[in-house]
Amino acid sequence: MCTVSSLPNPFRRLIVSIGLLLARLGLIDRERAVRTADLSWPRIVTGIARMSKNAVDVAMVGIAAGTAAITGVGIAGPFWGLAFSIGGGVAGGTIALVSQRYGADESEGIGLAVRSSALLVVLVGLPVTAVFYTYSTELISLINGNAAVVDYGATYLAVVGFGVPFAGLNLVGSRVLVGADDAYTAMVLRASGAVINIGLNAVLIFGLDMGVTGAALGTVFSNAIVTGAFALGLVRGGLPGVGAFPVQIDPFGSYVDADNLRDLVQIGLPVMGRNLVWTVAEFPMLAILGGMQEGVLAAFVIARRIWGIMNTPGWGFGLASSSLVGQALGTGDEDIAETYGREVIRFAVATYLVSAVVVAVFARPIVSLFVEDPTTQVFSIAVSLVYVACVAVVFQGVSGGAAGPLDASGDTRWAFGSQFLGMTTSIALAFVGASVPAIGITGLYVAFLAETTIPAALNYYRFRTGTWKEVSRNYRPGATADD
């Protein structure tokens, strides 16, 4: 089993320090804090790398082509996010199945779950690629009517769509390793992909003067490289320079297993729906903000990129919770599963507080990386949105932390419903702000808060009821369809 406890990594030290402080306060157990940190920090680093890559995309195309390119790529962003919604849904089923089988030491069951996941994510992803390539202009035109914005957005979307299947497979590969207690290797591969992506972007956008096409190609190529690394590592049981993988998968085994595919769909569809709610909600939001005062839409795109980086602790703690809770459920220990779930929520909230404070202090210089002139309306609105996001993101710690045990158990419908309610309320509030001049941008501020506070309250309530433990009994090793 892979461990990263001895690695002199500053990110790990920071996360462990927060956990140990909570342990000294009696809020979490010291040993569980270290184990949670070891699983969560690599995923947080991966998230920072990925979200930073997205921010760099926007900054680079802005430098190369101006505000219209920022807006175009920003509008295409949610469409590209569909890749992660689809892949994340399948991967949500993957981590639930793999972690429980890993806890029960069922290697054959792990292989079957992984192959079924890979098949499913490719079958779902390929049609999305075809739609993006064929109808890129029409899709972008649904959100914005500016000719320059549509041209930039459609160019980016048509090319980046080829990366959808690779992005889905990367998520599956990552969840296989995290579910087997190895978040570090997943971080190395996916964070390396983000670094490669940034390097490719610099060459393609500026060196070859390819603009938004270069940004899109960089994303496709880097995702393909990471997919190859995951596939090779899982088949060989490790990679040179990276180390051994905790599991080894036979690529020639069965890919079509009715029970595994059924479980993946049952667990994954609500996860996919939850991710889609987050992604699809950006479309009406972008359309609404396009009708508000000048500068609001571009400022929102910038603030959402910064929000994405701030939200990365939830990625780590959500997956750590899913893995640890799932492994405990796989052995039938529901009490320790609940304890892990409760303590990870506390850990996540504390880490989000640190993230929010840091970003709030440096909000203006961070926004200046996207907009150089601090006298512009885009700059001032973006800064104000970042301040609001710093408050809202703390509640994301509760929402994501509480969703982890629900995902691990297979009780994924509730988290989907809570996210749907939160996002629809957020859109409604933004619409009111755009429609009522007296409310204006204040409606957008409140929308940011509603997006996280509603799912936080509902997910935490579901976790406290304990119903998810009963649901998990249907998906544990040896369970049948009649259980």
End-to-end CA distance of the chain: 31
Average pLDDT over every residue of 180-199: 80
> What is residue 43's three-state secondary structure?
helix
Is residue 250's pLDDT more than 70? yes
Report if residue 479 sits inside a domain. no
> What is residue 238's three-state secondary structure?
strand
Report if residue 477 sits inside a domain. no
Helix residue ranges, H only, 362-441:
363-367, 377-409, 413-435
* Whole-number Å distance between alpha carbons of 153 and 137: 8
Q: Is the dihedral of CA 459, 336, 9, 229 positive or negative?
A: negative
* Whole-number Å distance between alpha carbons of 410 and 404: 10
Is residue 460's pLDDT more than 80? yes
Residues 6+ apart with CB under 8 A from 8: none
Report if residue 5 sits inside a domain. no
Q: Write phi, then psi, for 370 (nearest 5 degrees).
A: -100, -40
Report if residue 152 sits inside a domain. yes
Cβ-contact 317, 351 below 8 angstroms:
yes
Closest CA to 187 of 8, 15, 49, 307: 49
How many Cβ atoms sit within 10 Å of the Cβ of residue 8?
A: 6
Residue with tokens 């429980």: 100
How does pLDDT run across 103-159, given as a tens digit for each residue?
Answer: 666 667 777 788 888 888 888 888 889 999 999 888 888 877 778 888 888 888 889
* Whole-number Å distance between alpha carbons of 212 and 152: 7
Closest CA to 30 of 40, 21, 41: 21
Report if residue 250 sits inside a domain. yes
Report if residue 483 sits inside a domain. no
Helix residue ranges, H only, 245-295:
258-280, 282-290
| Percentage with pLDDT > 90 across the chain | 10
Q: What is the pLDDT of residue 457?
A: 93
* Whole-number Å distance between alpha carbons of 409 and 246: 22
Q: Strand 243-244 relative to strand 238-239: parallel, antiparallel, unpaired?
A: antiparallel
Q: What is the mean pLDDT of the chain?
A: 81
How does pLDDT run across 414-453, given as a tens digit for each residue?
Answer: 888 888 898 889 889 988 988 887 888 888 899 889 988 9
Residues 6+ apart with CB under 8 A from 372: none
Report if residue 482 sits inside a domain. no
> What is residue 244's three-state secondary structure?
strand
The CA-CA-CA angle for residues 144, 49, 34, to 5°, reads 130
Cβ-contact 100, 330 below 8 angstroms:
yes
Which of 98-102, 244-248, 359-363 is modeled with the greatest confidence? 359-363
Cβ-contact 171, 120 below 8 angstroms:
no
Q: What is the pLDDT of residue 298?
A: 79
Closest CA to 23 of 11, 13, 33: 33
Which of 220-229, 245-254, 260-269 is modeled with the greatest confidence? 220-229
* Whole-number Å distance between alpha carbons of 78 and 287: 12
State the residue range of the domain holding 229. 10-472
| Percentage with pLDDT > 70 across the chain | 91
Is residue 358's pLDDT more than 50? yes
Q: What is the pLDDT of residue 33?
A: 86
How does pLDDT run across 64-89, given as a tens digit for each residue?
Answer: 666 777 777 777 877 887 777 777 77
* 239 strand-pairing partners: 243
Q: What is the pLDDT of residue 482?
A: 46
Cβ-contact 415, 274 below 8 angstroms:
yes
* Whole-number Å distance between alpha carbons of 386 and 360: 7
Of 59 and 173, the one with more pLDDT: 173
Token duo for residue 326: 């799932």
How does pLDDT run across 217-240, given as a tens digit for each residue?
Answer: 988 998 899 999 998 988 888 888
Token duo for residue 405: 């045990």
* Whole-number Å distance between alpha carbons of 1 and 459: 31
Q: What is the pLDDT of residue 121?
A: 85
Q: What is the pLDDT of residue 9?
A: 66
* Whole-number Å distance between alpha carbons of 464 and 402: 9
- With bands split at pLDDT 50, 70 and 90, how would you rate the model's confidence at 387? very high
Residue with tokens 């150089």: 372
Average pLDDT over every residue of 13-30: 88
Report if residue 408 sits inside a domain. yes
- With bands split at pLDDT 50, 70 and 90, how would you rate the model's confidence at 4? very low
63-72, 175-184, 307-316: which range is least confident on average?
63-72
Closest CA to 55 of 180, 201, 166, 175: 201
> How much is the pTM?
0.68
Q: How many domains does the chain fold into? A: 1
